[in-house]
Amino acid sequence: MILLVDADSLVFSSCYAPRDKEELYFENIEDVIFKFDEILHSIINHLTDEYNVNEVLVFNDGKANFRKLITKKYKANRSKQERPPLLNDIHKYVKETYDSHCAVGMETDDLVAIYWKKLIDVWGRDQVMIVSIDKDYLQFPALVYRYHTKTLYDLTEEQARYNFYEQMIVGDTSDNVNYFFGKGVKFAEKYFKDCVTEYQYRKKLYLLFKERYKSKAKEKYSECYNLLKLRTEI
């Protein structure tokens, strides 16, 4: 088994001090490193106990995200979000210590998806596992381990296809992507109940965009699709 670890969320959360401390963030990099290493090693040890893990690849700190060129609204909700003071330091530590892979021109999850596609073509789909709390990976027929809940998703093509098109309706609040305010999971489930193929999903969804955006439907559909769809090739 090859583990592809998206470490961005773990890097970020490792900067936070325990709740019983007065300060919000750790002030010493040694504390951040200890927390990161402890959690990462516990995740890997747990999966090693369950699977025959042969290799672990770590990914973090993507730069120059192409999605921000699609629309200025993408992740605009994070512009005023405070960055932990030691965030850059822990990213640097992860790169140097774990020889991590860093995305350029895309997000970390895009690079993970690219590696996943290449590796399953060689080793097979059941020999590669994505390790992340990011729900975006659920758009792939992959093994996805969400370590915060210790849940393994073994997704079929049908499940992955539904997950992606559901997200196009529901949106992604954390990334400021929402083209249908007020429409949630229950609406998507009912709306797509007769869809099976890629063509059926696309056709049905485009009708919704047409109803909402009229003459701009094609533009908005393309925009939403490219914001949410992870790359699987460079």
**pLDDT confidence of residue 234:** 80
Distance CA 161, CA 195 (A): 10
pTM: 0.95
**pLDDT confidence of residue 107:** 97
Q: Where are the domains of the chain?
A: 2-155, 158-228
Residues of the chain with pLDDT under 50: none
**pLDDT confidence of residue 140:** 98
**pLDDT confidence of residue 194:** 96
**pLDDT confidence of residue 226:** 97
**pLDDT confidence of residue 117:** 98
Annotation: CATH topology of 2-155: Rossmann fold (3.40.50)
